[in-house]
Amino acid sequence: MGRSDAQVLLSLMRGQPRHGALAARLQAFYGPQAEHYDAFRERLLHGRAELLWQLAPRPGASVIELGAGTGRNLGFLGERLSTLESVELVDLCPALLEQARRRTRRLPNVRVVEADAVTYRPARPVDLVYFSYSLTMIPDWEGALRNALTMLKPGGTLGLVDFYVSDPTPVPGLVHHGALTRWFWPRWFAHDGVRPDPAHLRLLRRLLPAHRLRQHRAPVPYLPGLRVPYYVFIGRLPGGIMRQSNESRTS
C-alpha cells in the first residue's frame, strides 16, 4: 500500500463528520485526501467513462456537472471537451474545487463554481447536466435532481452514475439484490456520507420515462471478493429524440 492510499484510507476510516453545515463536513472529510482523491477513486468509481461516452455531448453544447469534485470526469470527454461551448463544474467542497481549478486553468470554456447542487442555477438553460457519484452524497438528493431538471433546455439530457441497491421486490426488468447486499452497502458507505438508496433510481425512472439504464457490479479496493452495485442512467426531457427505455442487467 502506498502513502497516497494510506492517506485516503485514514480519511475513510475517520469518516465524514456528523454535525455542521454540509460544506464544512465535506471540507473536513476531503481536505486531507484531496491530492490523492483521484488515484484512489479510479479503482472505486466505475462507469464514469461509460456515462460520458454515452452522453457524447455535441459540439457547441453547454454542460453542467453537479458534485464535480476535482473535475476528473472531464478527462473522459477526450477531444470533445474542446468543442463544447461551456462546462460548469459545481461543487461545495473548496479542497476538491482547488484541484479542479488547477486541472482546468488552461481550459477557457470551463468554469469552476463553488455552490450547492440543490440551489445553483446557471445563467441560462443548458443541454446536459450530469452527476457522477455525487447524488448519494447530497442530503436533499430529490431537491438536487429536480433542480437539475430545471436547468435543462427542452429535450435536454440528464445523466447519472452512482452506487445503489435495489428495492426488496424490484419492478420487472430491474436487477434484484439479495438481503445482504441491500443491508451491507448502505451501512458501509454511510460512515463516509454516501447513501445508496433504491428511491434514487425509482424517482429517476418516474421523472424521465424516456431513458436508458444499465446496472452493474464492480470490485472495491481492499475488499477482496466483494462487488458493489452501481448504475448508469441517461434520461431526456420531452422535446428531444431518444429510443425507448432500454434496461439491461449486468452482473
So what's the pLDDT on residue 250? 54
So what's the pLDDT on residue 173? 81
Q: Which of 155, 15, 140 is nearest to 67 (CA)?
A: 140
> Where do we find the cell 454542460?
63
Q: Which of 186, 216, 214 is nearest to 198 (CA)?
A: 186
3-state secondary structure of 109: coil
Tally: H helices and E strands in the chain: 8, 8
Going from the first residue of the chain to its last (251 residues), give the mean pLDDT of each consecutive group of 10, the final group possibly shorter. 53 63 75 69 89 97 96 95 98 91 96 96 97 95 97 97 96 93 93 91 96 95 89 90 48 45
So what's the pLDDT on residue 25? 77
So what's the pLDDT on residue 60? 98
**Run of H or E including 95:** helix 94-104
So what's the pLDDT on residue 192? 80
Q: Which of 100, 189, 207, 97 is nearest to 137 (CA)?
A: 189
CA pair distance 4, 171, nearest whole angstrom:
42
